[in-house]
Amino acid sequence: MNKSDKKILNVPHLRFSEFTDEWVKYRLGNIMTFKNGLNKGKEFFGAGTPIVNYMDINKNENIVSSMIKGVVTVTDNEMKNFQIMKGDVFFTRTSETSDEIGLSASLLEDVPKGVFSGFILRGRPIDGIFENSFSGYYFRSGAVRKEIIKHSSITTRALTSGGSLSQLNISLPTLREQCKIAKLLRLIDNNIDSQRKLINKYESLIKWIYGK
């Protein structure tokens, strides 16, 4: 990246007390490369290698191999061109509405022989710029989502591309602060999941009591 690409931005109002470094501005295309995914006919799905699909990204900020249910048969050349690796950030490429365009999820672990679908984009950061789980949360934050939507095209469908995402101006904290933020957000997510399971349990009990 060029030094001229860095510009100091105002820091967020709410931060952990031990961090005082200012967040730094980057042009996303200078710290991340983008690639469109694999397009195959229906007959190639149902067996083969894991494939990250649209719904894997739509519903999750971060994904691991056990969450990837789709499989596809690919050639050696397709495997090479569309392979995925830990740290990749995926974005939904097209949607009926702007609300679901450019939704993101980061890959938290390597998926041997994994590939990704043509309905999503793969963003591959340069080494050391993102903490893996932080990037999934970060690109879903309100400010970044507004930028993604602003740079998308909307006709009959909402559409984004690697070229559009490359134009985004983003600001990032240090890796240490990214790790602290991601840890807090994971804790919140885990608490929400626990509460949701408890609510579902009590709702099932109520239905059983009243015979519904």
Answer whether residue 22 shows pLDDT above 90: no
Mean pLDDT across 104-115: 94
Res 212: pLDDT: 57
CA–CA separation, 208 and 202 (whole Å): 10
The more confident residue out of 144 and 190 is 144
CA–CA separation, 123 and 29 (whole Å): 9
Mean pLDDT across 6-35: 78
Answer whether residue 139 shows pLDDT above 90: yes
Res 11: pLDDT: 56
Least confident of 4-8, 116-120, 152-156: 4-8
Instruction: Give the residue carrying structure tokens 């095209």.
Output: 153
CA 131 to chain centre: 12
Answer whether residue 1 shows pLDDT above 60: no
Which tokens go with 85?
A: 């690796």
**29 pLDDT tier (thresholds 50, 70, 90):** very high
DSSP the chain: --GGG-EE-PPPSS--TT--PPPEEEEGGGTEEEEE-B---GGGEEEEEEEE-HHHHHT-SEE-GGG---EE---HHHHHHSB--TT-EEEE-EESSGGGTT-EEEE-S--TT-EEBTTEEEEEEPTTS--HHHHHHHTTSHHHHHHHHHTSEESSSEE--HHHHHT-EEEE--HHHHHHHHHHHHHHHHHHHHHHHHHHHHHHHHHHHHT-
Minimal CA–CA distance to 115: which of 76, 144, 152? 76
The more confident residue out of 12 and 182 is 182
The more confident residue out of 190 and 175 is 175
Res 187: pLDDT: 84
Minimal CA–CA distance to 163: which of 51, 32, 38, 50? 32
The more confident residue out of 3 and 154 is 154
The more confident residue out of 177 and 204 is 177
Mean pLDDT across 127-141: 90
